[in-house]
Amino acid sequence: MGPKVTFVTPTFWKDYERFCIQRESIERCGIDIRHVAIVDHEDLAQFRKVPFQSNLTLLSTRDVLTPQIEARRAVLRKRYRNPLRYLHRSLHGWYVQQLMK
């Protein structure tokens, strides 16, 4: 039995259309590989609507990041005038995606 391969794709709402194209091309080409997508928790409902879901598992950032890292990631979604924004030092998307991988 050969090695198992899994695609892991960290993504967020701005990449939704690109993610849909990726999922469509995987299925139309007949690629039978497990695909795990890690999505920002607040975007999970949107990604559950993706039309091509064969072999797809959706995980929230809350499932894979520690509570401290998740709080720092979520800070960027708070409005600038919200005082809660300054309680945690924010982490930008690229860094969070590297941690999720």
Mean pLDDT of 59-78: 81
Q: Are 56 and 35 in contact (CB under 8 A)?
A: yes
Of residues 33 and 68, the one with the higher pLDDT is 33
What was the pLDDT predicted at 72? Answer: 76
Mean pLDDT, the chain, rounded, equals 83
- pLDDT confidence band for 29 (50 / 70 / 90): very high
pTM of this prediction exceeds 0.85: no
The pairs formed by 73-79 with CB atoms below 8 angstroms and a separation of 24 or more are: 73/40, 74/41, 74/42, 77/42
Q: Are 78 and 59 in contact (CB under 8 A)?
A: no
Q: How far is CA 94 from CA 43, 71, 97, in A?
A: 16, 16, 5
DSSP letter, residue 54: T
Taking 80 as the threshold, does the pLDDT of residue 2 lie above it? no
Q: Which residues contact 28 (CB under 8 A, 6 or more apart)?
A: none
- pLDDT confidence band for 48 (50 / 70 / 90): very high
Q: How far apart are alpha carbons 38 and 101 in whole angstroms?
A: 9
Q: Terminus-to-terminus CA distance in the chain, angstroms?
A: 25
Q: Which residues contact 89 (CB under 8 A, 6 or more apart)?
A: 72, 75
Mean pLDDT of 61-86: 72
